[in-house]
Amino acid sequence: MKRFALVMLLLISLVSSGLGNNSQRPPNFVIIMADDLGYGDLSCYDGWIQTPHLDRLSREGLRLTDFHSNGSVCSPTRAALVTGRYQQRVGIPRVIVAKTDAAEHRNGLGKSERTFAEALAKHGYATGIFGKWHLGYYPQFNPIQHGFQIFRGYVSGNVDFFSHIDQVGNADWWHNDQKVDEDGYVTHLITQHAVTFIEQNHAHPFCLYVPHEAPHYPYQGPNDSADRTVGGKFPNHGSRSDKKEAYREMVVEMDKGIGEILATLRRHGLDRNTFVFFCSDNGATRLGSNGSLRGHKGSVWEGGHRVPAIAWWPDQIEAGVSSTLAMTMDLMPTLLALAGIEGHPEDNAFDGIDLSANWLTRQPLEPRILFWGTDKAKAVRRGNWKLVKSQPAGTQLFRLDTDLTESQDLSPQHPERVATLQRALENWSKEVNAASLGR
Ligand SMILES: [Ca+2]
């Protein structure tokens, strides 16, 4: 009898672990990206804002403590997320700006790049993006040219949460490649479209990309009203005097929306066959919190790019905390591996790596070297060592396991290590810049 019970238990655990009825169908994907959310903002990261739904995701999933955004600003990280490659290689090293006469306004994600949406759509996935694109203003850069079958949202860096007008006074709300406005608070619209997408596609594999606007400026909570008008003069950051409170309200509203998405997955019995990933696209501004980390959005200090991130897939990814070093560009190779897709084109080779074995079975990664670069500063990381080249500080070396706040420059004690990392950084810069010019 005892033996029978044991066999039954084993069978039940096999079925519930997905080796049973889920094995014929590849997993669904939900990728949620917050905008400018810091390492010290969420309650599950000991932050100052209560976020019960993300806390639950974190409790049930794998909370990552050494996950980094590719860029320290918006467009570069998003370019790396959707392509699995360094943004410098992809030709999007800077923010694509709203100002129509600026050179960076005309940049966008090139047709030759392959996105995760393209690869998944080719293998039968329904693909949708609801929220912020920020990879090009013009129709040829639109998400529907890059494998997404449906897009509702905006293409610039930020819009008024109510009037959906960008920061130079142009209307910016789209249905695919057409400007079609809708009434509503941006965070609510994103959630509603995401929920509808799941409901319409629950019967087959889907990939849902949810790039939220919160908590990027303008700082507007759900009970406020529009500040921006077409062609008008307005305060870019919104009219509220209590901006920190507005920031908190924005994060809380995003958290509620994420709760609704998760409830929708549960309602359709998809929570055991859906991989959910949450992260931020760069560190917080001074209005938010990066915890004890040095620096803010825009810098290559940890506060610019070490961000909250959670990988969630009940029964497949064991709940816990992971200190594995990872970066935004690892997402695409990981998604394709989880979907069982091989054969990514060589001329679009990944810089990111497949993290699935690390997340699913805690298999350690091979040692690797990672790079960050803005116009003003660069950084390189190998193991716990990080070299930062910035002005006016110059070249400095830090050991993050004992000095997470990057306050103790160890370069005088380790000249050889400095030279090796510096050489690697120079080679990398040359290589990605040359690749970008050859696009
Ligand atoms: Ca951002």
Render pLDDT for 331-386 as a digit per residue (tens, 0 to 9): 999 999 999 999 888 888 999 999 999 999 999 999 999 999 998 999 999 999 99
**pLDDT at position 39:** 98
Q: What domains, with CATH codes, occur in the chain?
A: 26-366 (3.40.720.10), 372-437 (3.30.1120.10)
Q: Is 259 exposed, middle or buried (0-12, 13-18, 19+ CB in 10 A)?
A: middle
Q: What share of the chain is helix, strand, coil (3-state, %, to 5)?
A: 35, 20, 45
pLDDT at 21 over 60: no
Q: Residue with structure tokens 């394709």?
A: 336
Cβ neighbours of 180 (radius 10 Å)? 10
**pLDDT at position 13:** 46
| SS3 state of residue 379 | strand
**pLDDT at position 337:** 97
Specify the higher pLDDT residue, 5 or 108: 108
Give the end-to-end CA distance of the chain in Å, rounded to a whole number.
Answer: 67
Q: Give the model's confidence band at 19: pLDDT under 50 very low, under 70 low, under 90 confident, else very high.
A: very low
Q: Ligand 1 centroid to 167 CA: how many Å?
A: 15
Is residue 374 within 8 Å of residue 362, measured between CB atoms? no
**pLDDT at position 40:** 98
Q: How far apart are CA 56 and CA 41, in angstroms?
A: 16
Q: Ligand 1 centroid to 74 CA: how many Å?
A: 4
**pLDDT at position 437:** 80
Residue 152: phi, psi to the nearest 5? -130, 125
212 is catalytic: no
Of 33, 266, 249, which Cα lies nearest the Cα of 134?
Answer: 33
Distances (CA, A) of 411 to 58, 266, 351: 37, 51, 28
pLDDT at 8 over 70: no
pLDDT digits (tens, 9 = 90+) for 249-275: 999 999 999 999 999 999 999 999 999
Indicate the range of 57-61, 195-199, 373-377 predicted with least confidence: 373-377
Cβ neighbours of 401 (radius 10 Å)? 11
pLDDT at 17 over 80: no
- DSSP result, 101-163: TSGGGG-B--TT---HHHHHHHTT-EEEEEEE--SBSSGGGSGGGTT-SEEEEESSS-B-TTT
Task: Give the H or E element holding residue 382.
Answer: strand 378-382
Active-site residue among 53, 134, 164, 237?
134
Q: Is 48 exposed, middle or buried (0-12, 13-18, 19+ CB in 10 A)?
A: middle
Q: Give the model's confidence band at 242: pLDDT under 50 very low, under 70 low, under 90 confident, else very high.
A: very high
Specify the higher pLDDT residue, 164 or 19: 164
Q: Ligand 1 centroid to 261 CA: how many Å?
A: 22
Q: Give the model's confidence band at 22: pLDDT under 50 very low, under 70 low, under 90 confident, else very high.
A: very low
**pLDDT at position 434:** 85
Q: Ligand 1 centroid to 292 CA: how many Å?
A: 20
Of 71, 89, 125, 91, which Cα lies nearest the Cα of 279?
Answer: 71
Q: What is the widest separation between alpha-carbon atoms in the chain?
A: 78
| SS3 state of residue 397 | strand
- DSSP result, 366-378: PP-EEEEE-SS-E
**pLDDT at position 4:** 53
pTM over 0.85: yes
**pLDDT at position 23:** 53
pLDDT at 20 over 70: no
279 is catalytic: no
pLDDT digits (tens, 9 = 90+) for 409-428: 999 999 999 999 999 999 99
| 28 token code pair | 């669904």
| Ion ligand 1: residues, Cβ under 5 Å | 35-36, 74, 281-282
pLDDT digits (tens, 9 = 90+) for 275-291: 999 999 999 999 999 99
Q: Give the model's confidence band at 392: pLDDT under 50 very low, under 70 low, under 90 confident, else very high.
A: confident
Of 71, 72, 100, which Cα lies nearest the Cα of 85?
Answer: 71
Active-site residue among 44, 53, 74, 305?
74
Q: Ligand 1 centroid to 218 CA: how many Å?
A: 13
Q: Ligand 1 centroid to 282 CA: how many Å?
A: 5
pLDDT at 400 over 90: yes
Q: What value does the mean pLDDT of the chain take? A: 94
**pLDDT at position 3:** 56
Distances (CA, A) of 46 to 31, 55, 233, 395: 23, 10, 39, 31
pLDDT digits (tens, 9 = 90+) for 87-117: 999 999 999 999 999 999 999 999 999 999 9
**pLDDT at position 82:** 98
pLDDT at 165 over 80: yes
What totals of helices (H) and strands (E) does the chain contain, helices first? 11, 16
pLDDT at 303 over 50: yes
Is residue 280 within 8 Å of residue 307, measured between CB atoms? yes
Q: How far apart are CA 152 and CA 165, in angstroms?
A: 14
